[in-house]
Amino acid sequence: MVTGELKSKIDKVWNSFWTGGLSNPITVIEQMTYLLFIKRLDELQTQKEQKAAFLRKPVQDPIYSKEQKELRWSYFKNNDPEVMYKLFTRENGVFDFMKEMGEQGTAFTKFMKGATFMIPTPRLLAQVVDMLSDINMEDRDTKGDVYEYLLSKIASAGQNGQFRTPRHVIKMMVEMIEPTLDDVICDPSAGTCGFLVAAGEYLREHYSNELMKPEIQKDFQQKSFMGMEFDPTMIRIGSMNMILHGVENPRLTDVDSLSEANTSFTEKATVVLANPPFKGSLDREAVDSKIINIVDSKKTELLFLGLMLKGLKVGGRAAVIVPDGVLFGSSKAHLQIRKQLIDNHKLQAVVSMPSGVFKPYAGVSTAVLFFTKTNSGGTDHVWFYDMTADGYSLDDKRNPVSENDIPDILKRWKDIKNETKRERTDKSFLVPVKEIRDNKYDLSINRYKEVVYDEKEYQKPSEIIKQIEQIDAERNTLLQELKSLLKGGRSEEQLMVAAEAEATYSLTKKGKR
C-alpha cells in the first residue's frame, strides 16, 4: 500500500519533472521506469553475489563486471548530483549499459530500442534516485502499488489521448471472467498492461498453493500472459508494470494488433480482457484480411472485436469494453459484428456503464461485452445490467462515493440462474435471443428495459383559480380594515399589530397553496 508519506515524495518528484520542462506524463513515467529497471538490475546482481558467497562459488551469469561497479545503483546513488549525471549521460555509462542489455533477463530489455534519457538536470536525477532508494523494491506488493500510483498520474494529467482503464472496472471484469491457471490471457491493446496485471493478481489470490509448484510457476511466468502494443513507450511501461507485479517474462509483442504482422494471435488465447481504442479509423488495406472477413470496417472498435474472435481458441471467452455505438449502430459493419457474436458465437452479457466512468479525459458512454467463441452459436439469453454508479462521482473529480453497483453486479452474475425471475424494471434481467434478433440485434439496454412512471393527480385549473380568487378576496378585506383603522386614529403600535396579522394571514394562505 502506498502511504501518504510515500505519495508525497512521489508527488514532489513528479512536480519537479513538470517544473523542469517534462510536462507529458507518459514521458515522466518512462524516465522513472528506466530508473526502476536500473535499480532492479543492481538488486539482481546483489542476489547473485549473496548466493555465490553462501555457496562459496563464483557469481553465475553476473550482470555487472568488476570494471562496471560504478554503473550500479548502490554505487552511484551516493555520488554528488553532477558526478551521477555524468555517469548516466557519458558514452558507455549507466543508460547505455541498460540499453545494451538486449535479450538478457526479462521482457523489458527487448523493447529498449529508441529509449532516450530525458531527465534534464543533475538535481532532478538526484531527487528521483533518492526517492526510489527509499522504496523497498523487494516487496512485490509495495513496488507494484508504487508503479500503479505512478500510472494513475496518466489519468489525472492525461495528455495526447493517453489514459488508463479505471482499475476497479478492470477488477470487476476479471472477477466476472474468472481466469484459471490453465488459461492463456491476452490483451491485444495492452497499453500499461493493467488487465494482465489484474489477471495475475487474481490468479495469485485464488491459486496460491498451486503456484508454489515450480512447473506451474514457470508456466505462469512465461506462458500465461500475452499482450500486443505498437507504441514503443507504452510497451516498455507495460512490461515494467508486469515485472514489478511479479511476472518476469510475459509474451509481449511490439506490433500493430490489427495488421497482418501480428502472426502470434491466431487461436492462441483462451481469455481476452481488453479496452481497445475507440473512434479510430484505419486504412482498410492495412488491416489483416482475416479480420476483414469477420467484420468489414475501418472502425477500430469493430475491428478489435473481429481480432478477438480471430485470436481466441474455440471455447475461449472475452470481456471487452466498447462504446455504446457498437451496441446499436445501424451501419452494415455494426450489424455484422453483432450478428457474429450472437449467431455464430455465444454472447452472454452486456453491462452498461455510465458515461462518467472515464472522466476526466473522456465522457463517452460504454458497455462491457462478455462472450465465448464457439463457431457454432449458442446464444440463448443475454444478461443485461444497468450500472448507474461505480463507487466514484461521475464528474471530472471522480471522488469516492457510497453508491456502487459493482458488488451487486458480481453477486447477480455469479447467481445467474435466479436472474430469470427478474422483471424488466430491475437493474438486471435476461432477454431471449429471439427478441434481440427481432430488434435488429440491438444490444442497448434501453431497448429492453421497462420504466415505471408514478401517477400523480393534480387539481383542475378552474379549482386552482377559485382558490386564488378566494385568497385575494380575503386579503382585500383585511386591507380595507387596515385602511379603516388608519382613518379611525388608531395608535402606531396598534397599526403595526394589525399589519403583522394581515401579513401572517397571507403567508399562511400561501403555504397552504
Q: Within its chain, how far is the Cα of 415 from the centroid?
A: 25
102 assigned to some structural domain = yes
CATH code at 243?
A: 3.40.50.150
3-state per-residue secondary structure call for 385-420: EECCCEEECCCCCCCEEEEECHHHHHHHHCCHHHHH
Give the number of other Cβ atoms within 10 Å of residue 114's Cβ.
Answer: 9
- My answer on whether 340 and 386 are in the same domain is yes
Give the residue with greater pLDDT, 502 vs 258: 258
Element (H, E) at 183: none
SS3 4: helix
Element (H, E) at 429: strand 428-432
- My answer on whether 131 and 107 are in the same domain is yes
3-state per-residue secondary structure call for 260-307: CCCCCCCCCEEEEEECCCCCCECCHHHCCHHHHHHCCCCEHHHHHHHH
Among 95-104, 177-186, 443-452, 485-494, top mean pLDDT goes to 177-186
Average pLDDT estimate for 323-339? 96
- My answer on whether 227 and 125 are in the same domain is no
- Scanning the structure block, which residue is given the C-alpha cell 481476452? 272
Reply yes or no on whether the pLDDT at 270 is more than 90: yes
What is the count of structural domains for the chain? Answer: 3
Q: Domain boundary at 424, 447, 470, which?
A: 447
pLDDT tier, 175 (very low <50, low <70, confident <90, very high otherwise)? very high
153 assigned to some structural domain = no
- My answer on whether 323 and 209 are in the same domain is yes
Closest by CA position to 386, among listed 295, 318, 449, 451:
449
Instruction: Compute the distance between CA of residue 318 and CA of residue 309 in angstroms, rounded to an integer.
Output: 9
Task: Dump pLDDT digits (tens) for 215-258.
Answer: 999 999 999 999 999 888 889 889 889 988 889 889 999 999 99
- My answer on whether 187 and 307 are in the same domain is yes
- My answer on whether 22 and 120 are in the same domain is yes
489 assigned to some structural domain = yes
Q: What is the pLDDT of residue 510?
A: 54
- Scanning the structure block, which residue is given the C-alpha cell 534519457? 117
- My answer on whether 183 and 326 are in the same domain is yes
- DSSP β-bridge partners for residue 269: 312
SS3 317: strand
- Scanning the structure block, which residue is given the C-alpha cell 546483489? 46
Average pLDDT estimate for 323-328? 95
Contact 371, 347 (CB under 8 A): yes
- My answer on whether 176 and 262 are in the same domain is yes
Grid coordinates representing 269?
488465447
CATH code at 80?
A: 1.20.1260.30
- My answer on whether 441 and 467 are in the same domain is no
82: left (phi over 0), alpha (psi -120 to 50) or beta: alpha
Angle (deg, nearest 10), helices 406-413 and 167-177: 10
Q: What is the pLDDT of residue 481?
A: 79
Q: Within its chain, how far is the Cα of 270 from the centroid?
A: 22
Structural domain boundaries enclosing 139? 4-147
Instruction: Compute the distance between CA of residue 185 and CA of residue 273 in angstroms, rounded to an integer.
Output: 7
Instruction: Compute the distance between CA of residue 292 and CA of residue 343 in angstroms, rounded to an integer.
Output: 18
What is the dihedral angle through the alpha carbons of 304, 306, 307, 312, rounded to the nearest 10 degrees? 120
Q: What backbone torsions phi and psi does residue 95 show, to the nearest 5 degrees?
A: -70, -40
Q: What backbone torsions phi and psi does residue 101 show, to the nearest 5 degrees?
A: -65, -25
Q: What is the pLDDT of residue 101?
A: 72
Contact 189, 227 (CB under 8 A): no
Q: Report the mean per-residue pLDDT for the chain.
A: 87
SS3 144: helix
155 assigned to some structural domain = no
13 assigned to some structural domain = yes
Task: Dump pLDDT digits (tens) for 122-168.
Answer: 999 998 898 888 776 666 767 778 888 888 877 544 443 445 789 99
Task: Dump pLDDT digits (tens) for 391-438.
Answer: 999 998 889 999 999 999 999 999 999 999 899 999 999 999 999 999
Q: Domain boundary at 420, 447, 474, which?
A: 447
Grid coordinates representing 54?
553462501
Q: Domain boundary at 447, 470, 500, which?
A: 447
Q: Find the angle CA(436)-CA(434)-CA(440) to the nearest 5 degrees.
A: 35
- DSSP β-bridge partners for residue 299: 281
Q: What is the pLDDT of residue 413?
A: 97
Instruction: Compute the distance between CA of residue 325 and CA of residue 374 in angstroms, rounded to an integer.
Output: 25
- My answer on whether 274 and 375 are in the same domain is yes
453 assigned to some structural domain = no
Range of weakest confidence among 258-262, 280-284, 436-440 = 280-284
The β-bridge relationship of strands 381-386 and 346-353 is parallel
Reply yes or no on whether the pLDDT at 329 is more than 80: yes
Instruction: Compute the distance between CA of residue 223 and CA of residue 205 in angstroms, rounded to an integer.
Output: 18
Instruction: Please tell me the number of Cα atoms within 13 Å of 112 on its side-chain side.
Output: 21
Contact 251, 296 (CB under 8 A): no
Q: What is the pLDDT of residue 138?
A: 65
pLDDT tier, 81 (very low <50, low <70, confident <90, very high otherwise)? very high
- My answer on whether 359 and 383 are in the same domain is yes
pTM exceeds 0.85 for this model? no
Task: Dump pLDDT digits (tens) for 441-491.
Answer: 999 999 999 876 666 777 888 888 888 888 888 888 888 877 777 766 555
Closest by CA position to 405, among listed 360, 352, 452:
352
Average pLDDT estimate for 296-310? 94
- My answer on whether 143 and 172 are in the same domain is no
411 assigned to some structural domain = yes
- How many percent of the chain have pLDDT more than 70? 89
Contact 272, 245 (CB under 8 A): no
157 assigned to some structural domain = no
